[in-house]
Chain A
């Protein structure tokens, strides 16, 4: 074995750790020890943790690289490590049957990684790993060779737009802040990420925190700020830990603090933990929260760039927005704007989930057709089911029906289709998903997370939810769909902040594309057989073998029948739990 050319990378994102990443690392240590090559391990064989590379379902993912030949292993458990060490590392014979397959490679093929380019390959806790890959070169270039205005020009020319939801041009925001005549300005990184199912920003901070810090340094220099905050939710302990370590390392290396890189520019970043309220991701609520008040939005104008934290000009950008900045400076605005569409430049990170084969974290060029994401990257729908729709933008977004799958994924096209890019949630829905139920799910979330300040959002979303509740329970009334539409329109028009203004979107877009499902519910049927109150379970005579499995599984003793004879469900006793449906091997139980 030539250990000096060996690198072992173990995925230690939250997904990797949950699947047992730490134990796998320990197992490698022990096995290398036992194999008697421990002494050389630390010196010549580099083993380190890496952040998430997207396909968490296959964790623990391990790369073994010998003389630049990389083999990636999937589903690695500690007990599998000894074989890898023996056969691959010692005998140089990769354990092919544990290596990832085509789906892993296809998952990455159509992706384009800018923000995530270092995630999953460098050790996020090692600042030198970032620096060795040209990290902090962009900050050095900006601070030592560019005027603030020139840095802003570069970002403007790149066409970078905010990745936090609204897609506001980042360079323009910085320019306005630059022009404010104020002694104190602030720059804030929004890492609140409260949408259900979204984990893009967490993965970026866990996988490459220095890119975010470097982006903030460049932003601060551009607008003329010496104080920054990262507002991050406390439910992200690993991200917080890595961010704190990265900040302290950056300070030790002189990238933060007084007179950075020998210039007259000083800048420091504080971490502020959020208590986990979705609304605190809204910029004015976020500012209130940093100031120690209840996180409630306030009316704009004035916008934070004019009057933000403590009344001073403040730039707030999303994690992914900042993480793009060093790569833009390093490779040039032209390079960045060569990706994407005319108005949506660069790439976007999405959290691809739902009824899809390869769920995970992906980064794609703006404008990629939705179809390519679903079928080429995502590997298509699970279990050979029919795709129904793709929900984008989380609770503020809407859905794109299956027949619009050629919609390009960019700010303009998704908005035109009645949805949004949003922060990057992407949930794939198949024929087994009920659209009314889906709208109800998101409304439950927004209602619970409404800050309570304004009437249309606080009470209006509650009423929307109640109407949806009764529709899914078969108690809907004629006119309910129209009432939903009217109230939704009023809430959108009259609410104070983006939360209320977008909360009805899941309802409006499902009514737009799936009105028939709403109508079916009013007639007492849930076409996808999801809404419990509208279901009846019964047993098909031609399939029932009389095995009694359902009878034993039923918790409410609703099933009767003798052995080897047809079984029956008493609808009056049935509580519609679905236990019989799940347990029947002969598909004799039906629900509709």
Chain B
């Protein structure tokens, strides 16, 4: 264990802990933009700088491991001045159209600008302009809002193992883009959208459907597969307008394209909400009782006429373990056959 003090408070933490994490344990807040607890440290935004006694220049707390006897100060007039400069510089190259931005109310940059009271900006000048829109079907890439924190690049590489995007160019012209600046063509898991601290990456389906205000968040489980990721449905006026997942869930907030973007069926007019029974070559709506009775009568009839082994059951990877267990139980004891299988075996 390593003992250090942060703002005069002493704490003991495991070797290898970063100063930022140690501060968190002490409930000391240090502003960050590029840092993400699940990704390797980047050290690019420079907001999390702290002073360490005996070190001439400020160090980024997200990249600096603790050392024995370290004396850290997280806030001084000099540090706050540097943070303010950094924020003003970022905002000097930002559209600042929070008024119409999808991310307003849920944006780390907006939040920091608020806390640092940045009304006037000492710096103005050229802003990056992107004429071309990415034509992919899922992810809105409004790169003028990108602050180059690198989180999307890291999540794509370190978590998803895809590497669809990276930094390109140098200097003020640096940008994040897919190979040769083509349209994004990847798995569309949307992890990049999930980690983006600004409005640079959002879901195309979310546009103009409602920001964080007046959203009801409903936690549920994804029904696409047996993995059962935790979802948070963002509901506005009884309509799901966005799906996210929280970091403290067992799936750590990560989702796939289906869980994140595959929710439009919910309000689709084609969606089956009631059972249908085919009568005289035509599907007719029926009640659940009616449908279940119909099925059980038919199954019984087949079983009596041809024996239980003339019936087979195929279940689905979309079901949970428990549901699959119940299904085989039903086939074995209810029907009396071992003819039971599962689509994931194929």
Binding site for B on A (CB under 8 A): 277, 279, 294, 296, 298-299, 301, 447-456, 458-463, 466, 483, 487, 490, 493-496, 501
**How far apart sit A279 and B169, CA to CA, in the bound complex (Å)?**
13
Known: A301-B65, A466-B126, A483-B122. A456 touches B85 (CB 8 A): yes
B64 and A299 within 8 A (CB):
yes
Partner of B174, one of A299, A458, A496: A458
Kindly state the separation between the CA atoms of A321 and B125 in the bound complex, as whole angstroms: 42
A496 touches B43 (CB 8 A): yes
* Residues from chain B with Cβ under 8 Å of A487 in the complex: 85, 122-123
**Binary interface encoding of chain B residues 40-56 relative to chain A, with 1 for a CB under 8 A from any of its CBs, else 0:** 01111110010000000
B171 x A460 contact (CB < 8 A): no
Could you tell me which residues of chain B, from 104 to 154, have a CB within 8 Å of some CB in chain A? 122-123, 125-126, 147-148, 150
Q: Across the interface, do A496 and B123 meet the contact criterion of CB distance under 8 Å?
A: no
What would 20 more interface pairs be, CB under 8 Å, given A294-B166, A453-B148? A298-B43, A298-B63, A299-B63, A448-B171, A450-B172, A452-B167, A452-B169, A453-B167, A454-B43, A455-B46, A455-B89, A459-B123, A463-B89, A463-B92, A487-B122, A490-B82, A490-B85, A493-B58, A496-B46, A501-B57
Q: Are B171 and A447 in contact (CB under 8 A)?
A: yes
Asked if A456 contacts B89 (CB within 8 A), the reply is: yes
Q: Provide 23 A-B residue pairs closer than 8 Å at the C-beta atoms, listed in order of the A residue.
A: A277-B170, A299-B43, A299-B59, A450-B170, A450-B174, A451-B174, A452-B172, A455-B90, A458-B171, A458-B174, A459-B92, A459-B123, A459-B172, A462-B93, A462-B125, A462-B126, A462-B171, A463-B89, A463-B92, A487-B122, A496-B43, A496-B46, A501-B57
**Bound-complex Cα distance A551 to B174 (A):** 46
CA A460 to CA B122, docked complex, whole Å = 11
Chain B contact-residue range equals 35 or more
Q: Which residues of B contact A494 (CB under 8 A)?
A: 46, 49, 58, 82, 85-86
Q: Of B63, B93, B147, B170, which is within 8 A of A448 by CB?
A: B170
Query: Across the interface, which residues of B come within 8 angstroms of A447, CB to CB?
Result: 171-172
State the CA gap A277–B85 with chains docked (Å). 27
Contact A496 B44 (CB under 8 A): yes
Whether A454 and B126, one on each chain, are in contact in the complex, defined by CB atoms closer than 8 angstroms, is no
Interface SS of chain B: helix, strand, loop or mixed?
A: loop
A70 to B89, CA, bound (A): 62
Task: Please measure, in the bound complex, the distance between the C-alpha atom of A508 and the C-alpha atom of B17, giving whole angstroms.
Answer: 38
A10 to B120, CA, bound (A): 64
Q: Which of B201-259 contact A (CB under 8 A)?
A: none
Please, which residues of chain B bring their CB within 8 A of the CB of A460? 85, 89
Q: Which B residues are CB-close (under 8 A) to A449?
A: 170-171
Whether the pair B44, A453 counts as a contact (CB closer than 8 A) is yes
Q: Are B172 and A493 in contact (CB under 8 A)?
A: no
Closest to A495 in B: B46
How many angstroms from the CA of A99 to the CA of B191 in the assembled complex?
Answer: 71
A528 to B147, CA, bound (A): 40
B42, B64, B122, B148: the one contacting A301 at CB < 8 Å is B64
Distance of A321 Cα from B47 Cα, bound (Å): 36
Residue contact A456 to B86, C-beta cutoff 8 Å: yes
Given contacts A456-B89, A466-B126, A296 and B167 within 8 Å (CB-CB): yes
Q: How far is the CA of A452 from the CA of B82 in the complex (A)?
A: 18
B221 to chain A, nearest CB (A): 38
Bound Cα distance A223, B172 (Å)? 40
- Closest Cβ of chain A to B34, distance in Å, is 9
Is B74 interfacial (CB-CB < 8 Å)? no
Residue of A nearest to B59 (CB): A299
Point out which of A447, A463, A483 has the most chain B C-beta atoms below 10 A from its C-beta. Answer: A463
Residue of B nearest to A462 (CB): B172
A454 touches B46 (CB 8 A): yes
In chain A, what residue has the closest Cβ to B87?
A: A455
Q: Does B81 contact A (CB under 8 A)?
A: yes
Measured between beta carbons, the chain B residues less than 8 angstroms from A459 are 89-90, 92-93, 123, 172
Chain B: minimal CB distance from A283 (Å): 16
Contacts of B174 in A (CB 8 A): 450-452, 458
Taking the closest CB of chain B, its distance from the CB of A127, in whole angstroms, is: 39
CB neighbours (8 Å) of A493 from chain B are 57-58, 78, 82
The minimal Cβ–Cβ distance linking B189 to chain A, given in whole angstroms, is 22
Contact A466 B85 (CB under 8 A): no
- Min Cβ gap A240→B in Å is 23
B57 to chain A, nearest CB (A): 6
Contacts of B147 in A (CB 8 A): 455
Q: Is B60 interfacial (CB 8 A cutoff)?
A: yes
Q: Which residue of A lies closest to B60 (CB)?
A: A299
CB <8 Å contact, B171 and A450: yes
Residue of A nearest to B42 (CB): A453
**Bound-complex Cα distance A335 to B89 (A):** 52
Q: Which residues of chain A are near B49, meaning CB under 8 Å?
A: 494
Find the A residue at minimum CB distance from B62.
A299
A299 to B92, CA, bound (A): 25
Q: How many Å from the CB of B85 to the closest CB on chain A?
A: 4
- For the complex formed, measure the closest distance between the CB of B330 and the CB atoms of chain A, giving whole angstroms: 54
Q: Which residues of A contact B60 (CB under 8 A)?
A: 299, 496
Q: How far is the CB of A472 from chain B (nearest CB, A)?
A: 15
Q: How far is the CB of B55 from chain A (nearest CB, A)?
A: 10
